[in-house]
Amino acid sequence: MRQLIRRMNHENWHIKQEFFLLNDEGHGKALYIVSTPKRSYSLVCFSHYLEPNRRTDRVIADAWDATFSLFDGKPCHSDINRLESQTPLQEAGRFHASELVMSRANKSLRLFDYVMNSLASGTQPKADVINEIGYLMRTTAVYANGKFGMADRTNYANRSELMQPYQAEMLTVYMIRKFSLDLVEHVAQRKNCRKFVPLDRRLKRHIGIGNATGLGMAPFLVSHPVLIHNWFHARETALASIRSLEAPTPNQANIFQKQIKQAALHISEWNIEDKAYMANITALENDVRFLIERTSKQTKFFEQPRPWDTLYKMAVDNVCIEAQELLVSLILEPYPEYTDKLAHTLHVDREIPFDPSMSVVEFCSLIDHHYSWALAVNFNDLRQSKYFWYYSTEKIEPRRGMRREEIGADKEMQIAVARDIQSMREKLQSAKNQEIMAVFLLRHPEFRHIVKRVLIRAQHEYSEIQDNMIGEKCRPIDILRCKLAFFGATKFDPKSDLWTRVTMFQGAPLDDELSRDDKDNWGFPIKPVSKCYKYL
Amino acid sequence: MLQVSLSEIETSICKAVSATSLPVSFGEDAGRAARCMAESGIGSLVAFVEALDALNNGQSTGFNTQCAAMGKFIPKLDARHLSALYAGPSACDLLVSTHDVGPEYAAITLENVDKPLIILFESLVTSIDRTFGLHLSWKTQHSIQAICWRGALTIVEGSSQNLCTSGPAKMSILRITKPPTNMEPAWSPQRTKKLTYVEEEVWHRLISYTNRLLVDSTEKSRLTGAGAGITDTD
């Protein structure tokens, strides 16, 4: 998300509301044009009446408060008419290569109505209430890359503005945020145009866009090992470079000290219903306080040699994993030159050629070296194979079922890496040591996808999620959170082990603020009028 | 005609092949080959759908593994065709394996292949990012010779239309170390088609295979799925 905002700033993108044809209730259509230096994109929006009992985050929903298409260029009337008939159908519609992204969103009724009624009565909504929810609308799916007939990513992957992964999707989500802000003001004004006041800019900026994410993301990460390697490798490369630095400049140390205090305040404003995750947040807050104290100006922490390395090691020894991960992000903050130059390594531009010419004995040593975590799982224990993953007839989305209680295990998705590694390792025991893997696979083609994985892993150290995807203890929510964290999502709000809500673009510059100098200072959004935090 | 994306072609073929009980990685290779074929504008998805039909109704089958290990792919059952979807990935695996032990796989033969076009495009995908190329030849009504070199397809003998002629056919594939000279490729990745159209009837036949992978919802799955039971009133 921040990568997109930085680009919008550097390249002086402009966003124009082309039309906003909505009735008093906010139903109708709207069009926004995003002008970049080389081309334009358009968000085509359709806002609908939705029966309250049909409002659900679930992917199986078939109606939403609003539906969207990101169009490549400026749509003509016939394009808009076509999209008006297809976009509201979402997965049931058919799209053209002129459409890059399709999405939908539902209102957070509680916040939407509250903000709308406040504005209509001439008062500003309370920051606390806005902060509690964080968004007026929540997307429940964002589709791209050729789904339902839309443009393949290869059609636009060579465009600088969309080259990095998920930039088209992020642009769509950012634009939906703008639509939601325009929508609430529109409805409030129509409700009472005499008393109506526009939403305070600082409050507006603190309203992000929600997202509900479910299981589908988990199999995606398993089946894209090179992509996830690239993401983690970029992060670890930047971290390693910074840890090796002898000393930060005073300005860099200041940035860190300021950001960690803002992060602490951000965490203190992060409240969720889930008790277990709330306990994690509390522990995180305490640990961040510990890190603030250890790195405050009075301690002269940054005057010692290689302070970033010392800080990192101190965190590993003293704070929870959540705080360690947060610290890594904070250490990267003062060094955009280290992270930005890695941006081009995030995407995957080609398949890794498959070469099964390795001998069985060499291949076994690779497995033993890289997959000890998989070989350690005891599959005689039925709990380790409690689940299976499958595509559901409803919306053709991945789901997880209980192997011994539900139908469909015979149609299982092939993402049980640990189990398949073990099975293959056992079969390899009876193969000749010097036989090449290509010949082994003639007899056992069922393991060919696993051989590919092992060979990818041999060259990509962050390519495997080292967990048993079918085991009782596997928590898909952690996998979802991993991917969403790379997007820059905040305020994780898990609803079970299977799905979460998050907030995106909270604190991000509004479209008319994109040229501001502080365009990048929103990583840890805090309430506009916040209590005085003792560490600030 | 239905406009479909390359991604839809790739994933649908992949799922359809997996749904006919072939290994998932065979599906992945077939999906990439189908995508490449669609990008090239040569051939038709009909070849893939007919190959799926042939596997499904038992006309085509897998290969004898012992003979395959010697570089000769023959159907494992008499009076059956050799399934290109089944044999193509394994033949390519042998061809790309460079090694200093065991038999040399610089040349592979495949008997009675049901859809040579599929193996051609699997070979074409295999040739991307390699230091060698693959020379394929077969004969049905026409003699065909084609070279796959770093993702570019050169037709040495025959024409693009001839490539689409259905099998069965005996195919030979040779690993070669020099690119074709003085010949314009029939297709190279720089000339990718942006729009792909498929006959609706063909697409629906394909989707009928992918649908076999789907699991119907049950009362239990509805109750235990992500977000079950929640109507959003927040």
B148-177 residues touching A, CB cutoff 8 A:
none
Task: Output the pLDDT for position B226.
Answer: 61
B81-120 residues touching A, CB cutoff 8 A:
89-90, 93-94, 96-99, 101-102, 105
Q: Does A224 touch chain B (CB under 8 A)?
A: no
Provide, as residue numbers in chain B, all residues whose Cβ is less than 8 Å from the Cβ of A94.
2-3
| Burial class of residue A131, CB neighbours in 10 A (0-12, 13-18, 19+) | buried
Q: Are B67 and B100 in contact (CB under 8 A)?
A: no
What is the C-alpha to C-alpha distance for residues A442 and B174, in angstroms, rounded to an integer? 19
Place of tokens 């906010």: A26
What is the C-alpha to C-alpha distance for residues B64 and B78, in angstroms, rounded to an integer? 11
Provide, as residue numbers in chain B, all residues whose Cβ is less than 8 Å from the Cβ of A498.
225-227
Confidence tier at B225 by pLDDT (50, 70, 90): low
Q: Mutating which of B29, B36, B93 best tests the A interface, going by the most A Cβ atoms within 10 A? A: B93
For residue A498, the chain B residue with the least C-alpha distance is B226
Average pLDDT across chain B, whole number: 89
Whether A470 is covered by a domain: the verdict is no
How many structural domains are present in chain A?
A: 1
Task: Output the pLDDT for position A396.
Answer: 78
Task: Output the pLDDT for position A61.
Answer: 86
Per-residue buried b or exposed e for A429-468, using 16+ beta carbons within 10 Å of the residue's own CB = eebeeebbbbbbbbebbbbbbbbbbbbbbeebebbbbebb
- Mean pLDDT, range B92-112, rounded to an integer: 79
For residue A213, the chain B residue with the least C-alpha distance is B226
Task: Output the pLDDT for position B230.
Answer: 57
B94 CB-near residues (< 8 Å, 6+ apart): A438, A439, A442, B68, B71, B105, B108
Whether B10 is covered by a domain: the verdict is yes
Task: Output the pLDDT for position A531.
Answer: 47
- Residue segments in chain A with a per-residue pLDDT below the cut of 70: 395, 530-536
ipTM of the complex: 0.93
Q: If we measure between CA atoms, which residue out of A130, A117, A109, A132 comes closest to residue A206?
A: A130
Identify the domain containing residue A65 by its residue range. Answer: 2-214
How many structural domains are present in chain B?
A: 1
Beta bridge mates, B61: B82
Of B192, B215, B228, the CB nearest to A393: B215
Place of tokens 């910074």: A242
What is the C-alpha to C-alpha distance for residues A157 and A168, in angstroms, rounded to an integer? 10
- What six digits make up the tokens of B124? 């074409």
> CB B97 to CB A357 under 8 A?
yes
- Which long-range contacts link A248-251 to residues 24+ away (Cβ below 8 Å)? A248/A302, A248/A307, A248/A308, A248/A334, A251/A334
Which region among A408-422, B40-54, B98-112 has the lowest average model confidence (pLDDT)? B98-112
Whether A112 is covered by a domain: the verdict is yes
- Residue type, position B180, single letter: P
Q: Mutating which of B90, B175, B234 best tests the A interface, going by the most A Cβ atoms within 10 A? A: B234
- Mean pLDDT, range B123-131, rounded to an integer: 94
Of B7, B63, B129, the CB nearest to A146: B7
Beta strand extents in A126-199 (DSSP E only): 135-143
Residue A40 CB neighbour total at 10 angstroms = 15
For A213, which DSSP code? E
B179-208 residues touching A, CB cutoff 8 A:
192, 194-195
Task: Output the pLDDT for position A352.
Answer: 87
Which region among A380-389, A442-451, B160-169, B225-234 has the lowest average model confidence (pLDDT)? B225-234
Task: Output the pLDDT for position A515.
Answer: 87
B166–chain A nearest CA distance, Å: 26
Whether B219 is covered by a domain: the verdict is no
- What six digits make up the tokens of A97? 């290569």
- pLDDT higher than 70, residue B231: no
Whether A160 is covered by a domain: the verdict is yes
Whether A74 is covered by a domain: the verdict is yes
Whether A188 is covered by a domain: the verdict is yes
3-state secondary structure of A34: strand
Whether B46 is covered by a domain: the verdict is yes
Provide, as residue numbers in chain B, all residues whose Cβ is less than 8 Å from the Cβ of A496.
226-227
B121-140 residues touching A, CB cutoff 8 A:
126, 128-130
What is the C-alpha to C-alpha distance for residues B171 and B173, in angstroms, rounded to an integer? 7
Instruction: List, for residues A466-475, the tens digit of each pLDDT value.
Output: 999 999 999 9
Rg from Cα positions in chain B: 19
Identify the domain containing residue B67 by its residue range. Answer: 2-213
Beta bridge mates, B154: B147
- Mean pLDDT, range B172-193, rounded to an integer: 84
Residue B15 CB neighbour total at 10 angstroms = 22
- pLDDT higher than 50, residue B3: yes
Q: Are B151 and B132 in contact (CB under 8 A)?
A: no
| Burial class of residue B233, CB neighbours in 10 A (0-12, 13-18, 19+) | exposed
Whether A504 is covered by a domain: the verdict is no
- pLDDT higher than 70, residue B169: yes
What is the C-alpha to C-alpha distance for residues B41 and B37, in angstroms, rounded to an integer? 6
Provide, as residue numbers in chain B, all residues whose Cβ is less than 8 Å from the Cβ of A351.
32, 128-129
- pLDDT higher than 60, residue B103: no
Whether B200 is covered by a domain: the verdict is yes
What is the C-alpha to C-alpha distance for residues A148 and B99, in angstroms, rounded to an integer? 44
Whether A533 is covered by a domain: the verdict is no
Q: Does A328 touch chain B (CB under 8 A)?
A: no
Provide, as residue numbers in chain A, all residues whose Cβ is less than 8 Å from the Cβ of B231.
52-53, 55-56
Task: Output the pLDDT for position A134.
Answer: 96
> CB B231 to CB A448 under 8 A?
no
Percentage of residues in chain B having pLDDT higher than 70: 90
Whether B221 is covered by a domain: the verdict is no
Task: Output the pLDDT for position B120.
Answer: 97
